[in-house]
Amino acid sequence: MLYLYAPQDMVRYQHALQQALPQHKVQCWPEEVAVGQVDYAVVWNPPAGFFNGMVNLQAVFVLGAGVDRILKRDDLPSTVPIVRLTDAGMAQQMLEYVLYGVLHVQRQMGQYRRQQTLRQWQALTALSAGQTRIGVLGLGEIGGWVAQSLAAMGYAVAGWSRTGRQLPGVQDYIGEAALPDLLARSDILVNLLPATPQTRGLLNAYLLSRLPSGAALINAGRGEQVDEAALLGLLDSGHLRFAMLDVFEVEPLETVHPLWSHPSVLLTPHIAAMTQVQPAVAQISANLQAIKQGQLPHGLVERERGY
């Protein structure tokens, strides 16, 4: 039996999973099931106690790339494998999201918007792609695709990760000591890091201030990785000129939060890369078959690393 919790698109996921896995019975929360007979669970942020009694659970498939919330649960034994999505259509969406922010900065669209409100007709100098220095934090499946794609478009791209990854056209910065250098050469900083204890609070006042004057931040990683008060201070002072934010420390973002009304902020409700049903189900099906055959699934989470 496969038990599904996907409140945003339950019917489509159930239909697609049943078609892809006809030998399995796919049941959906909140249907009552014999929890002791559940072999696999496909979930996105299920309610507290969801896994209680699932003594035969062989694997949990997460409908997303981030697994920080599920790793914190107290109802899921540490012996149960967790498998995350490694792309499922999200990499291209993330590239599109980041590119929108990059072009906003590169082509000075924020300044044009301000000029429009004042009815000013004034052409501004635009940087070429090669003159636009982009730093990408996190070079996993999605971050690596974003960095490579931007480099292929002619942008001056550098990437940072803890272990290093050689990618075509991307300058590699490795380890904690190299992070300030990466920031210092980034006109646009793109955060796509996974949520781990090491990345929580990483972009604090000290590191954000290492960005060049007039730089911009695009955050589509995790909200708790950015010190929001420090970010607001740097935007208010003019040291940073723009921030495009998709994730926040508290979601939904509180209606009284100053980020909502800040003139240099563009925010979106955690939609930069949304899971697509068919690619996700195809990946889950392939990984489930791999597990049944004694093979390691793609996207198997290493709990100590957090991803």
Same topology for domains 2-88+275-292 and 91-267, yes or no? Answer: yes
Query: Residue length, the chain?
Result: 307
Q: Is the pLDDT of residue 8 over 90?
A: no
pLDDT tens digits along 141-169: 999 999 999 999 999 999 999 999 999 99
Q: Count CB atoms within 10 A of the CB of residue 214.
A: 12
Residue 280, pLDDT score: 96
**What mean pLDDT is predicted for residues 203-217?**
98
Global pTM value: 0.91
As assigned by CATH, the class of the 2-88+275-292 domain is: alpha beta
Active site residues: 222, 270
Q: What is the pLDDT of residue 225?
A: 98
The end-to-end CA distance of the chain, in Å, is: 26
Query: How confident is the model over 74-93, as a mean pLDDT?
Result: 94
Q: Could you tell me which residues are beta bridge partners of residue 136?
A: 159, 190
Domain boundaries, the chain: 2-88+275-292, 91-267
Residue 113 CB: number of other CB atoms within 10 A? 11
What are the structure tokens assigned to 94, written together? 């993330």
**Domain 91-267 fold:** Rossmann fold (3.40.50)
pLDDT tens, position by position, 84-123: 999 888 999 999 999 999 999 999 999 999 999 999 999 9
Q: In this model, does residue 35 exceed pLDDT 90?
A: yes
Mean pLDDT of 14-42: 96
